[in-house]
Amino acid sequence: MGAPPQHLELVHKAPLLSPLCYFAHKRSLFGIVLTLVALATSMAWFPAPETTNPAVIEMLDTEEEYLTENWVLWKILLALIVPASFAALAVAFWKRSLIWGLAVLNGTILIKAGWTFVVSTESGALSHLPAAVAASRSATR
């Protein structure tokens, strides 16, 4: 099995969030930690793709440049949205609130898509749009 296309990053990570929601709903800290470890290492599970869309390469280059530039306070606060969104998602399902869980998931997707449009060129940002729409649709079903 080959690697998923890079523009489907949000879609192939979405199934890894399902166990987070499940274990939070079951109130299993071990399951939550195991899921977060799996999510953090998920990029290593797939081989590099044979061909890559130029827009995806452009987006990845932009992300690399963004991550290697100087880290100022606003950038640190923005980066903290990632663990905060995982925590908010776990809390929502721990409290067994499907509505809040879906709200957090969709909010996170919108923030990621918006961030992509702010820091990337239009073609690079548009490479994430199909994944954001697909992930948002699957989250609301």
What integer is the mean pLDDT of 13-30? 87
- Transcribe 29-55 into DSSP letters: HHHHHHHHHHHHHGGGGSPPPSS--HH
The 10 Å Cβ neighbour count of residue 1 is 5
DSSP string, 81-139: HHHHHHHHHHHHHHTT-HHHHHHHHHHHHHHHHHHHHHHS-HHHHHTTHHHHHHHHHHH
User: Is pLDDT larger for residue 13 or for residue 40?
Assistant: 40
pTM score: 0.68
Check if the beta carbon of residue 94 is closer than 8 Å to that of residue 24: yes
Nearest partner of 39 among 14, 60, 57, judged by Cα: 14
Cα radius of gyration (the chain): 16
Q: Which of 45-54, 86-95, 105-114, 132-141 has the lowest mean pLDDT?
A: 132-141
| Owner of token pair 């290492």 | 41
Q: What does the pLDDT look like over 41-71, one tens digit per residue?
A: 877 877 777 887 777 787 778 878 888 988 8
- The residue among 4 and 111 whose pLDDT is bigger is 111
Specify the amino acid at residue 85.
S
